[in-house]
């Protein structure tokens, strides 16, 4: 089976990272996978070998959709699989792609990475996207998202995890030039005010002033190519100075290579994801990366984490008190890590790729029997 993935790829983008892992896993299932991608957004860094880039994101015109479908046919694609989020495709592009696939008998699948909600403009754009995807079978990451769509041909396939190789915490700290005897707390994800990093900084500052925290805080995540994200980095540096953690905040603001991310997370006592909302996302890739590290993970009550609740600790009390308990109660954090390890075993990329392959294979058989 030859699968053509339409997605961001080999660039600083969460969906690109997701697609890269899925492509690798599908290849191990025996599929031939080609990737076609949109033009790079201004300020986004390419990474590794680049795919053919054929359309202009949310402003893609009909001719770009036709050119993309011609390339699918040139590559003998049996199935087309689009990774869909607002801004990656125009509704016009998706509608014409869907019509072309249907006319040619090529099954079209779309994984939806965004859920409903937000401003009126966002909800309207999402409605137009869903309307354009009527010819497609949809894939979402959890049952709540599937129920929200209220239509047929929706399949639930969880977000996959690729566990990091086990690494001793103290060795990881030495490799990073950190004191192996002092605690490290980490956060991961693109830097944006919604990620709740400032409250963590203030809570750690409170603990440090009272002598209950003498370690460092590592923020693993790059800035979006937008002024708001870059301004947020400067805001966080200002807050670190204000609360006395200027020398203990480790934050490059860069999108780090996977090996470096794994090293940074391996050095942490625990990982905290204190998101404020995140409700418009289908699920959290950052949470999966955190869980795959093997370290205990603590998350906010934001709905984006609902599908990993059993694998993490949910921060429900006063943040400084929650962080202090995580820092001081080894039995508590060990139990959280054990729950996370079970989740990782059950949600590896191999199983996720197998589920995708089965869906694609069934659709292909139906198409060929008509």
Residue ranges of E strands in the chain? 2-6, 32-38, 52-55, 79-84, 108-112, 137-140, 154-156, 184-188, 216-220, 249-251, 270-273, 297-299, 313-314
Write down the residue that tokens 């390339």 correspond to: 71
Instruction: Return d(Cα 88, Cα 12) in angstroms, integer.
Output: 14
Is the pLDDT confidence value at 369 over 80? yes
DSSP state of 105: T
Are 19 and 144 in the same domain?
yes
Q: pTM for this structure?
A: 0.77
CATH of the domain at 277: 3.40.50.2000
For 8, phi and psi rounded to 5 degrees? -60, 150
Q: pLDDT at residue 112 above 90?
A: yes
Give the side-chain half-sphere CA count within 13 A for 136: 26
Judgement on whether residues 315 and 205 belong to the same structural domain of the protein: yes
331 with 352, same domain: the answer is no
The residue with greater pLDDT, 277 or 361, is 361
Average per-residue pLDDT in the chain?
92
- Asked if 151 and 248 sit in the same domain, the reply is no
Say if CB 303 and CB 279 are below 8 A apart.
yes
User: By three-state DSSP, how is residue 137 classified?
Assistant: strand
- For 30-76, the pLDDT digits (tens) are 999 999 999 998 878 898 999 999 999 878 999 999 999 999 999 99
Residues 13-35: tens digit of each pLDDT: 889 999 999 999 999 999 999 99
- Are 191 and 280 within one domain? yes
> What are 205-223's pLDDT values in tens digits?
999 999 999 999 999 988 7
Q: Tell whether 249 and 280 lie within a shared domain.
A: yes
Shared-domain flag, residues 136 and 251: no
Q: How many domains does the chain have?
A: 2
Banded model confidence at residue 226, pLDDT cuts 50, 70, 90: low
Shared domain for 354 and 342, answered yes or no, is: no
| Spatial CB neighbours of 260, under 8 Å, sequence gap ≥ 6 | none
Number of residues that make up the chain: 370
Quickly count: other Cβ atoms within 10 Å of residue 330's Cβ. Answer: 10
* Sheet architecture: strand order including 52-55: 52-55, 32-38, 2-6, 79-84, 108-112, 137-140, 154-156
Look up the domain containing 17 and give its range.
Answer: 2-160+348-369
**Ordered strands of the 216-220 beta sheet:** 249-251, 216-220, 184-188, 270-273, 297-299, 313-314
Residues 122 and 211 in one domain: no
Half-sphere exposure of 252 (CA within 13 A, CB side): 11
Report residue 282's pLDDT band, with 50, 70 and 90 as the boundaries: low
- Is the per-residue pLDDT at 9 higher than 70? yes
Q: In terms of DSSP bridges, do strands 32-38 and 108-112 run parallel, antiparallel, or are they unpaired? A: unpaired
Could you tell me if 359 and 326 lie in one domain?
no
Among residues 278, 163, 267, the alpha carbon closest in space to that of 217 is found at 267
Same domain, 193 and 331: yes
26 sits in which H/E element: helix 14-28
Distance CA 77, CA 55 (A): 18
pLDDT category of residue 370 using cuts at 50, 70 and 90: confident
At 252 the three-state DSSP class reads coil
Per-residue confidence (pLDDT) for residue 280, from 0 to 100: 65
Q: Based on the fold, state whether residues 175 and 298 are members of the same structural domain.
A: yes
């Amino acid at each position: 089976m030859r699968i053509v993935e339409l997605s961001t790829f080999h660039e600083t983008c969460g969906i690109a990272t997701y697609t890269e892992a899925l492509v690798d896993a599908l290849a191990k299932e025996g599929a031939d996978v080609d990737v076609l991608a949109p033009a790079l957004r201004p300020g986004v860094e390419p990474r590794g070998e680049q795919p053919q880039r054929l359309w202009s994101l949310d402003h893609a015109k009909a001719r770009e959709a036709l050119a993309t479908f011609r390339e699918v046919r040139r590559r003998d694609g049996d199935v087309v699989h689009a990774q869909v989020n607002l801004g990656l495709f125009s509704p016009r592009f998706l509608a014409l792609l869907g019509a072309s696939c249907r006319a040619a008998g090529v099954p079209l699948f779309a994984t939806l990475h965004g859920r409903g909600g937000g401003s009126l403009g966002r909800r309207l754009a999402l409605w137009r996207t869903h309307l354009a995807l009527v010819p497609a079978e949809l894939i979402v990451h959890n049952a709540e998202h599937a129920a929200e769509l209220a239509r047929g041909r929706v399949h639930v396939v969880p977000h996959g995890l690729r566990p990091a190789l086990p690494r001793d915490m103290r060795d990881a700290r030495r490799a990073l030039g950190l004191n192996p005897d002092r605690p490290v707390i980490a956060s991961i994800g693109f830097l944006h005010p919604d990620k709740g990093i400032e409250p963590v900084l203030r809570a750690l500052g409170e603990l440090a002033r009272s002598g209950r925290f003498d370690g460092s805080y590592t923020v693993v995540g790059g800035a979006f190519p937008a002024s708001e994200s870059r301004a947020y980095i400067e805001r966080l540096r200002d807050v670190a100075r204000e609360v006395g953690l200027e020398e203990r905040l480790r934050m490059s603001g860069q999108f780090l290579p996977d090996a470096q991310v794994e090293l940074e997370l391996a050095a942490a006592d625990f990982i905290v994801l204190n998101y404020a909302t995140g409700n418009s996302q289908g699920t959290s890739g950052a949470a999966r990366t955190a869980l795959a590290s093997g370290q205990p993970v603590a998350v906010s009550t934001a709905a984006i984490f609902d599908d990993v609740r059993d694998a993490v600790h949910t921060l429900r009390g006063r943040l400084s008190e929650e962080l202090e308990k995580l820092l001081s109660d080894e039995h508590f954090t060990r139990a959280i890590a054990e729950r996370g390890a079970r989740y990782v075993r059950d949600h590896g990329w191999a199983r996720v790729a197998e589920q995708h392959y089965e869906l694609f294979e069934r659709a292909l058989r139906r198409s060929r029997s008509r």
